Structure 1
Amino acid sequence: MNFRTAATLEHANLTVRNPTRTARLMCHLFDWHIRWEGAAMAGGRTVHVGSEDSYLALYTLEGEATDPDIFAKGRPLNHVGVLVHDLDGVEARVKAAGLTPFSHGDYEPGRRFYFLDHDGIEFEVVCYG
């Protein structure tokens, strides 16, 4: 594969109950920063959190934030994968945030674990090498 012509994921847009709370968690866990926040185009509120190259758009629309059917694993999102350089350090941060890491695995070419954020969104944290 020619990596110079491969597409790069720029962002994913996730519906969350509280964009500010989720953005703060992502900043704490992954050393990301808030790139932008404000009113969403179709109403509601959005916070963009990530690095200079990619980010998560964290969105809520009034009323959606209290709908329990929106926040169910696998509907429609299974998980978000985040590549880190210090898996053990991030796991310690996840625990310090009161969240529970699970499904640890060593596989070729790396290691991983998962956790659910405050909205039940599953994150896979991966370290290669």
Structure 2
Amino acid sequence: MKHDTAHRALGPQAADREPMDLATMRESARRVMGMSEMQPQLNELADRLRDHVQLLVPEIRALIAGLPADDGSAGVARIGVDEAWRRLHTSRGFGPDAAYQHAQRLARSVAALCDHYENLAAR
């Protein structure tokens, strides 16, 4: 399955890396957060959100690593990264709304990770 997020070399030292497509990531998150119930495209969007988390987490971790241990923004971003990674690796659960609820949590994480990335990259 092909997604709009371009896969690229991870890590801030990659010379040929493309910029993060935060607009696409935010749009994917917005679409899922705007759903009030399970919809046919939810599984595809949830897969896309997983891809976004997998791209954002290593980038944000690299940005955090370059900051002092007592940096407040880095501390908040670290919590967001840990939560997103946990959500990525948690099963969807069971029941009629489980996939919907899981996708909602991933969408909130993607939106937060985009904010953390922008805040830390702007320094």
TM-score (norm 1): 0.26
Q: Which has the higher contact order (CA 8 A, sep 6+)?
A: 2
More helix by share: 2
TM-score (norm 2): 0.27
More strand by share: 1
